[in-house]
Amino acid sequence: MSTRAVLAEADISRALTRIAHEILEANRGPDDLILLGIPTRGVSLARRLAALIERFAGVAVPTGSLDVTMYRDDLAHQPTRAPRPTEIPEGGIDGKVVVLVDDVLFSGRSIGAALDALKDIGRPAAVRLAILVDRGHRELPIRPDFVGKNLPSARAERVNVRLAEVDGADEVTIEGEAGA
């Protein structure tokens, strides 16, 4: 197995700064925005994006988390994971622009589950998707609105996102067979 670094701390910081600006531009400002991170690392990324948006626009953006564990259609194929709390900002999501935030977009199943979960919570005006790493190989017709890095990879490879809040350091690596 070989591991190669593809994003360092500075690369992740630049990508999040760009995504925050793109979110503000697409929404024409911070009004009616809510950022919902998908546990685990999506929550940390959503908080970082909210801090950047507040720095750029001078307005705090409500942030929460959306656990999708029980909405997944592939639970039989995934390792067992205890559900995490879903935390929706006060006032709910009705009529708001919800930006779902996650670390890696692969098959699209997590985002599909997130869309199902949102239906049980409320009716947003729009749902957007911000992803740190898009590695392709979609199984569902899902496309991110905001991408930190497009990272073509082989299906057999594994993309690892590590964030300081969870893992003690910021980096993105790809693991795979040497020469794959």
Q: Is the peptide bond before 63 cis (omega within 30 degrees of 0)?
A: no
Distance CA 180, CA 176 (A): 7
Span 138-144, mean pLDDT? 93
pLDDT by residue (tens digit) across 89-138? 999 999 999 999 999 999 999 999 999 999 999 999 999 999 999 998 89
Span 11-24, mean pLDDT? 98
What pLDDT sits at residue 178? 56
Q: Strand 158-162 vs strand 171-176: parallel, antiparallel, or unpaired?
A: antiparallel
Burial class of residue 120 in the structure, from the number of CB atoms within 10 Å of its CB (0-12 exposed, 13-18 middle, 19+ buried): exposed
Distance CA 101, CA 105 (A): 10
CATH number of 2-71+87-176: 3.40.50.2020
Span 23-34, mean pLDDT? 97
Q: Note whether 30 and 97 are within 8 A (CB).
A: no
What pLDDT sits at residue 70? 85
Mean pLDDT of the chain: 93
pLDDT band at 78 (very low <50, low <70, confident <90, very high): low
